Structure 1
Amino acid sequence: MPSSHPPAPGPVLRSPVGLAQAVTVLLGVVIVADLLIVAASLNMRSLMGKVASGGVVDFDEGEANRADYAMAGSAMLYVIAMLATAVVFVIWFHRVRHNAEVFAPDTQSRTPGWAIACWFIPIANLWIPRGIAADVLRAAQPDPYGGAPRHRGLLNAWWGAWVWAMVFDRYASRTYDKAQDVDAIHDAAGLVMASAGFDALAAVLAILFVRRLTAAQHEKALAGPAVPGH
């Protein structure tokens, strides 16, 4: 006897456009924070360079404190901006993964819950999110089953830049925190400056990827379901 209960409704599309715009703005704030770190690091390097070369006869402790405050303040702004960005980015990431379940569920190697959980697993968060993003990108293509998806190179560039920036930042931060003498602080500030540059590049690539993937899903949603044989 057939069941009298109607079938459970499947997942429905949810627009990622608003979230993508929020992520873009927040990543812009991250880039600004990175640039402030670069400026603070340049100032610290300049000051330490003058001291090391004997160019500063009467060492101004106040100037050194201001340089140190600039480093700490820009780093704090970066942490706040990055935390806010991470929260909204993960929400956006889960949204586009949810939509992939509507577009082409059989192309997804992990369940939607992994779009959130993957970021909190040490070590594994260096590759699992990238795999999920690749699956979502494929599902957003006009033909998810034909050939390499568009923007795959952008995904790889963003992910590689992000992993490198994260690893290099840990090295630079630890080196700066351990620096005690003038030469060590001068060199460590250079590492911090380079780290901020790498991070800004990763943020730019992240903006491009978020916008491209969001646009692909939006266009596919507007196009409607594919018609067999067309």
Structure 2
Amino acid sequence: MENLRPNGQRAKIAIMLIWMVLTIEIISILSDYLQYDLLQTVANGGQITTETATDNDLRQKIIGFIYLGVYVISGITFIQWFRRAYYNLHIKAATLSFTEGWAAGSWFVPIISLYRPNQIMKELYQETQRLLSTKNENYAQNLTTHFIGWWWALWLISSFLGQFVFRYSLKAETIEELITSTVASLIASIIGIPLALITVKVIKDYSEIEPLLYELNNGEEDQKIISDTDLQPIEN
């Protein structure tokens, strides 16, 4: 039988990077607001210097590049934690709905990515709760899926808004179009704040319970060793 693999460090790294994403989201909100203010000045007939416009563009590009890099790395570490958690659960539960590979692959398949990761996360919570409730008499905690629905809804909204901002900003040329793109970016960043907070909670909640699976696994192995020993004949 395969052994459960440690997942606590992956959870810590994923949470740390989500906090970094959250920090950059807040910085991005401030930067987008400054850009919005400049665009409104121009739209109302005001004047801004070329240096001011150049500095604004440079600031937005730097923040954008940093955000993209941290966001991608954060996504990778989250998926690594997610896949490892589902892998460990597979060792303990023989009736899961999907293979362990889907915990990573489902994020990248069109259409399926809109619902499959959510299904796996719910199953991760629910099946772990069921296993511990039935096999660990000392287990008294409640691993609720209440926040998972909010997590997934915010993730979908954030993803759709992000795609809109990216595509719209590429063709935005007029002041009105630039204002629309900036406002959409502001909204996306604001939504990113509760999304980050709930994602951290989802990881933390499961990570606090997951070690009990290790104890359950060890307990079963110890029991098996005892049972096998009892079956051996006693030599005189």
Normalising by the smaller structure, the TM-score range is 0.7 to 0.9
For residues 133-169 of structure 1, the C-alpha deviation after alignment (integer angstroms, 9 at most, x for no partner) is 1111122212279xxx732111111111101100111
State the Cα distance separating 1:223 from its structure 2 match: 5.6
Shift of 1:76: 0.9
Q: 1:158 corresponds to which residue?
A: 151
1:33 correspondence with 2:24: yes
Q: Percent of aligned pairs with the same residue?
A: 18
1:76-114: CA deviation from partner (whole Å, max 9, x where unpaired): 1111011111221111111100111133232x1011121
Aligned counterpart, 1:43: 34
The equivalent of 1:63 in structure 2 is: 52
Which of 109, 112, 132 lines up with 1:121 in the alignment? 109
Q: 1:144 to 1:114 in 2, by over 3 A?
A: farther
Q: Residue 89 of structure 1 aligns with which residue?
A: 78
- For residues 217 and 190 of structure 1, the distance between their equivalents in structure 2, rounded to whole angstroms, comes to 41
Distance 1:23 1:154 in 2: 18
Q: TM-score, normalised by structure 1?
A: 0.84
**In structure 2, which of residues 118, 123, 132 is the aligned counterpart of residue 130 of structure 1?**
118
Alignment RMSD (CA, Å): 2.1
- The aligned runs of 1:179-194 (5 Å cut-off) are 179-194=172-187
Report if the CA contact (8 A) 2:107-2:113 is conserved: yes
The residue type equivalent to 2:106 in the other structure is C
Report whether the alignment pairs 1:204 with 2:197.
yes
The residue aligned with 1:13 is: 4
Aligned residues: 212
On the 8 A contact 2:143/2:206 being kept in 1, the answer is no
Alpha-carbon shift at residue 42 of structure 1 (Å): 0.4
Structure 1 gaps of 5+ residues are 1-9
The 2-side partners of 1:139 and 1:63 are apart by 56
Q: Which one has the largest radius of gyration? A: 2
Distance in 2, matches of 1:79 and 1:120, equals: 17
Give yes or no for contact 1:138–1:144 (8 Å, CA) kept in 2.
Answer: no
Could you tell me which runs of 5 or more consecutive residues in structure 2 were left unpaired when the two chains were aligned. 136-141, 224-236
Q: Is the 8 A contact 1:119 1:129 kept in 2?
A: yes
Q: C-alpha displacement at 1:198, in angstroms?
A: 1.3
Do the aligned partners of 2:158 and 2:192 also contact (CA within 8 Å) in 1?
Answer: yes
Deviates further, 216-225 or 68-77: 216-225
Query: Normalising by the residue count of structure 2, what TM-score does the alignment of the two structures yield?
Result: 0.82
**Aligned AA for 1:46?**
D
Other-structure match for 1:168: 161
Change (3 A) 1:144 1:120: farther
Q: Distance between the aligned counterparts of 1:35 and 1:126, measured in 2? A: 26
Q: Which letter does structure 2 place at the counterpart of 1:17?
A: G
Distance across 2 between alignment mates of 1:167 and 1:50? 29
Give the distance between the partners of 1:75 and 1:21, measured in 2 at CA.
25
More helix by percentage: 2
SS in 2 for 1:93: helix
Confirm or deny: 8 A CA contact 2:7 2:84 kept in the other structure: yes
Cα displacement (A) at 1:25? 0.5
